[in-house]
Structure 1
Amino acid sequence: MQASPRHAPDLSRLHHSRGALAHSVALSTWRRAFEVRTADATIAPALRVGAATALVLVIGGLLGHGNLAGFAALGALTAAFGRYEPYPRLARKTGLVGVALVVFVAGGALLGAAGLSLWLQIAVMAVASGIAAWLLAAFRIAGPGPVILIFAATAAVGYSTRLADLGPAVVAVATGVVVGWLAAMAPCLFVPLGPARLAVARALAAVAQLERAHDASAIAAARKAIDNARDVIAHSGRGRDGHSHQLFALLAEADTVVDRWAHERDHDTLRALVDHESELRKVKRRSDLQAFDVEAAALPKPAGFLAEGLRGLRSREGIVNAARIAAAAALAGWICVAVGLEHPLWASMGAMAAMQGFNFSQTVQRGIQRLVGNVAGAVLAAGLIAAAMGYWQTVVVIVVLQTVTELVVIKNYAFASVAITPMALLLTGLGSAVAPDIAVSRVVDTLVGVVVGVIVSAVAISRTDHHHVA
């Protein structure tokens, strides 16, 4: 009797993972990691975050609680989330981030007071890393990312040695959250439709590209920008002055031009539309757009923030990604403990930060940028720490570094990491004395975290993820 042929094992996933790892060390990949993207409207958000950070650090110093001011500064980073969001939605998103920061600091303080072994601390923080990533992804909250929640929790673990330390840490971070939330929402009083105006201006800029690039990608980009602007207007509230209706009508006209562009290039109408871009970028409550049919522009009803978030929490993709991040964070931390490194939780954060990309290509880019930025930032941090600055000098430097971070983070994360590294170490130094050699630990732990994060991402890469294939 003839034996049935044995089926060959399916090695497609192995080949896919091997190709992903090859992509991570390719020269072209590293070269792309240092490309500088264009970014607009960066100054105002950066100044708001810098002002919120400065305020809480000054208050902490004046009250004689400089050791707690670092927690308040982390709370103030609430202002860095949800950049360019319409204010009604921004209020909910930054509010959720603020509540999460308080919860994570409280959890970290309890963990520190419990006196668990470092191995167990890493396991708990790894699970927290997955939860943080899962939560922010589900509610589509853009900004510094879940790593801020874990950094705050890690700081609380190091600060808390007894249960009595829980209250001061929570009060400090909650104070910072309130200040950060108010800083983020303050422009709503003066330019309530500011995010909507900016989104429409960006849509018009994308439409303007049709005259320079005649391919299908330019049309697709214009449609995407118009759809995004519609979403922002819908979530901006129904303005009593009718300006939101005018903005929506302007988008309807732009949509018509884009739809017809493939077979009817109406340059005159396009240029008339694009002329409104510079006006919409001005910091004004409204602009005169009476030329557009307001009555025809019916505003859509926006989807509920809570309903969307709850659907996101049930997303299989989000749950799987959270599990990957938790595994990488635990593995990176345990490796550092095994080899005797001093700050294994930093390695866990490094793995988590590297894995914040939407696909493997972005994960690698983020990892490269974080690693190289950390090396340069560590050199700067060592010099600043060696200068033995007083509290107020340190506050000035932290505020400057935070503002610079917000100015450049959209352009290239590597540049932001150069500022983030010394800022994080100086914030750590507000609660306890640190030596310049802590910068070396930061680089080594980050290296372990990034390498582990990239390897785990490659091993667990989705079969549908081909963004890294040129």
Structure 2
Amino acid sequence: MNISGKLDRTRRVVLADLVALRPAQGTRRGAIRAAVTMTTMLTGLAVAGRLDWSIYATFGAFTCVYGGSRPRPERWRTQAFLGLLLTAAVASGALVGLSDQRRWLAIPVVALWATAGAVLSDRYSWRPPGPLFVVFAVATCSAIPTTPPVVLIALGLAALTAAFAVLLGVLEARWLPGRSWRPPPPGLPPPPAHRQRIQAIRCAVAVAIAGLISTTAGIPHPYWAMIAAVVPLAARPLRAQLVRGVHRTLGTLVGLAVAAALLVAPLPVAVTIALIAVLQGTAELLVIRNYGLALVAITPLSLLSMQLANPQPVPALLVDRLVETLIGVAVGLVVAIVTRDRTVPFVDGYAPR
């Protein structure tokens, strides 16, 4: 096949991947657990008058997205491990927040967490794969000014919410077993050891470069760029990484339009919490089917959560999110292209992870 034929085939398969809806059986229960966890946590903090602490509990709630959608005998162990890891990431970010130089200090700290998350994800076959959530937790929390008592509060809230998420999963498996449990179909085999090392290094490099660019430019939320930089790298091989990067960009664009409509409305706290729960559940229903569609819910979910904890001017917030997403995705894709596995065919080597 000549070059023009290869390019045409590449364009067709990438377009097909962008609009594909993959099967995702059993996601409804996971979506309900995620929505219940988020609602319970936010409601409790609202009653206590401490919604400014909600960001720390939010990352503990991400525990429920791990371990698969179907109840399995060992799922609670997977979720407990990830809950501990997410709690440690929150605490690490809160410690960085003690420093007046937290914007710069966050870059190496988040890069180290990206390395650790990539290594552990490959070793234990996390689902969803990659270091995205631990990077999300430490990067976001590092941007918030803290004091020693707040660090302890952050640690406690993340741990408490993670424990609640694990408990919901255990209760579901015991009281709502549904169909007889069957082992999940085999996924992709772990990559070779040298590719695992490359994956860990490139996640760290992508985070560091994105963080340096956005921090040097003086953009108010450099952690968004660091988070976006690891998004393409969670997939393998290059074809899947390109699709994931485009999904992140287009999904964020549409999600920002949804977020703008929600953020300009003077919503009561109770309505905002309900919307966050609905968006969380929607994201869980869509993320396996099509990551781009999931971003339409994830983007307003993230911004609503931020405004609930720390209100900011909406126009600047939307612009910052877009700019930093573009920076992060661009960096992640460049790193992916430069470090790609040239032994894997671009078109024929695709498999979602």
User: Is the pair's TM-score, using the shorter chain for normalization, greater than 0.5?
Assistant: yes
Write the mapping of 1:26-105 to structure 2, written as runs, cut at 5 A.
Answer: 26=11, 28-84=13-69, 87-105=72-90
Cα displacement (A) at 1:386: 1.3
Say if 1:409 and 1:415, in contact at 8 Å, map to a contact too.
Answer: yes
Identify the match of residue 212 of structure 2 among 309, 325, 334. Answer: 334
Q: How many residues align?
A: 343
Instruction: Say which of 446, 450, 453 aligns to 2:325.
Output: 446
CA distance in 2, matches of 1:73, 1:466: 39
Take 2:25 and 2:313, find their aligned partners in 1: how far apart are those partners? 38
**Greater RCO structure (CA 8 Å; 6+ sep):** 2
Between the aligned partners of 2:13 and 2:214, the Cα distance in structure 1 is 30
Residue correspondence of structure 1 range 423-442 to structure 2 within 5 A:
423-437=301-315, 438-442=317-321
Aligned-residue offset at 1:327 = 0.4
TM-score normalised according to structure 1 size: 0.67
TM-score, with normalisation over the residues of structure 2? 0.88
Note the 1:3-402 alignment, pairs <5 A: 26=11, 28-84=13-69, 87-116=72-101, 118-143=103-128, 145-192=130-177, 194=179, 196-197=181-182, 199=184, 225=185, 315-402=193-280
Paired with 1:57 and 1:117, the residues of 2 have a C-alpha distance of 26
Corresponding residue to 1:413 among 291, 299, 308: 291
Cα pair 1:84 1:195 within 8 Å, conserved = no
More divergent stretch after superposition (411-420 vs 85-94): 85-94
Going from structure 1 to structure 2, the CA distance change for 1:314 and 1:464 (only over 3 Å counts) comes to: closer
Q: CA offset at residue 319 of structure 1?
A: 2.3
| AA aligned opposite 1:416 | A
Which residues of structure 1 form unaligned runs of 5+? 1-17, 200-224, 229-311
Distance 2:131 2:40 in 1: 23
AA aligned opposite 1:436:
V
- Aligned partners of 2:269, 2:165: CA distance in 1, in Å? 21
> Which residue is 1:468 aligned to?
347
- 1:465 shift after superposition: 2.2
Q: Which amino acid aligns with 1:133?
A: A
The alpha-carbon deviation at position 86 of structure 1 amounts to 5.0
Cα distance in 2 for partners of 1:81, 1:462 equals 27
Q: 4+ residue runs of structure 1 moved beyond 3 angstroms?
A: 25-28, 191-195, 312-316, 467-470
Counterpart-to-counterpart distance in 2, 1:36 and 1:193: 25
8 A Cα contact 1:80 1:144, kept in partner: no
Larger radius of gyration: 1
Is 1:403 the counterpart of 2:276? The answer is no
Displacement, 1:165? 1.7
CA distance change for structure 1 residues 195 and 402 in 2, over 3 Å: closer, same or farther? farther
Contact 1:385 1:435 (C-alpha < 8 Å) held by counterparts: no
Equivalent residues of 1:78, 1:97 under 8 A apart: yes
Over the matched positions of the two proteins, sequence identity in percent amounts to 28
* Conserved? CA contact 1:126–1:327, under 8 Å: yes
For residue 154 of structure 1, report the CA deviation from its aligned partner: 2.3
Letter in 2 for 1:349: I
How many Å separate the matches in 2 of 1:184 and 1:435?
38
Residues in 2 aligned to 1:195 and 1:329: alpha-carbon distance in whole angstroms: 42
- Would you say the 8 A contact 1:66–1:431 is kept in 2? yes
Show CA shifts across 1:35-61 (max 9, x none). Answer: 222332221221111111111111111
- CA distances 1:65-100 after superposition (whole Å, capped 9, x unpaired): 211123223212211111245533211110111000
Residues 126 and 198 of structure 1: CA distance in aligned 2, closer, same or farther (over 3 Å): closer
User: How far is 1:145 from its partner?
Assistant: 4.8
What is the CA distance between 1:333 and its match in structure 2? 1.7
Shift of 1:107: 0.5
1:280-319 deviation line (CA, Å, top 9, x unaligned)? xxxxxxxxxxxxxxxxxxxxxxxxxxxxxxxx89933222
| Aligned-pair CA distance for 1:393 | 1.5
Coordinate RMSD, CA, aligned: 2.8
Letter in 2 for 1:118: R
Distance 1:332 1:418 in 2: 23
* Contact 1:108 1:153 (C-alpha < 8 Å) held by counterparts: yes
Q: 1:144 to 1:322 in 2, by over 3 A?
A: closer
| Residue 191 of structure 1, CA deviation | 4.8
Cα distance in 1, alignment partners of residues 191 and 98 from structure 2: 31
